[in-house]
Amino acid sequence: MAARSALIRAAIIADAAEIARLSAQLGYPARVGVFAGRLERMSRSPTHAVLVCEGEGGRLAGFIGLEQRLMIESGDKAEIVGLVVDADARRTGAGRRLVAAAEDWAHSRGLLELFLRSNVVRPEAHAFYPALGFERSKTQHVYRKALT
């Protein structure tokens, strides 16, 4: 899948099946309807964006999820909350183009920093991001609690 000539655009509800397929590759499987609902909610949010890299025949080479975050201690920043490139499209420039589009999205909002979190089990990502100019700023533990 050649991504160099692929189109970077905002995700639409019709992309839900492709986004579900890509999310499953990252270990986050869910029904298409779940992703359609999330896309619909995010499309109405002024602080969220989902961009896709569309290849031939409408097949997605990847997607990136973005959020503008206002933090009391450090102000406004943009966070990459998800980035998936299709296994068949890796090393074609799709990820690089999606991150460049994320930088443009952040700049258009006057944001001066783009950050992300990367799971320790993703060594390819740990090589990818520094190659794009990202610096590791800290190591942290992430805790969660289910609210019932």
Tell me if 89 is assigned to some domain.
Answer: yes
Tell me if 33 is assigned to some domain.
Answer: yes
**81: nearest Cα among 23, 128, 17:** 23
Output the pLDDT for position 127: 87
Tell me if 61 is assigned to some domain.
Answer: yes
Q: Which CATH number is 30's domain given?
A: 3.40.630.30
Q: How many domains does the chain have?
A: 1
In the chain, DSSP assigns E strands to 7-10, 48-54, 60-71, 75-85, 114-116
Output the pLDDT for position 130: 92
Tell me if 142 is assigned to some domain.
Answer: no
Measured CA distances, 113 to 77, 78, 126, 133, 148 (Å): 5, 6, 19, 12, 35
In 1-133, DSSP assigns E strands to 7-10, 48-54, 60-71, 75-85, 114-116
- More confident site: 3 or 107: 107
Output the pLDDT for position 78: 97
Output the pLDDT for position 6: 80
Q: Is residue 148 predicted with pLDDT exceeding 70?
A: yes
Tell me if 55 is assigned to some domain.
Answer: yes
Q: What 8-state DSSP symbol labels residue 6?
A: P
- Taking only the tens place, the pLDDT of each residue in 84-143 is 999 999 999 999 999 999 999 999 999 999 999 988 888 788 889 999 999 999 888 889
- Taking only the tens place, the pLDDT of each residue in 10-29 is 999 999 999 999 999 988 98
Please give the single-letter amino acid code of residue 60: L
Q: Report the pLDDT averaged over residues 65-80.
A: 95
Q: Is residue 64 predicted with pLDDT exceeding 70?
A: yes
Output the pLDDT for position 1: 55
Its domain, for residue 103, covers 7-131
Q: Is residue 3 predicted with pLDDT exceeding 60?
A: no
Output the pLDDT for position 4: 59
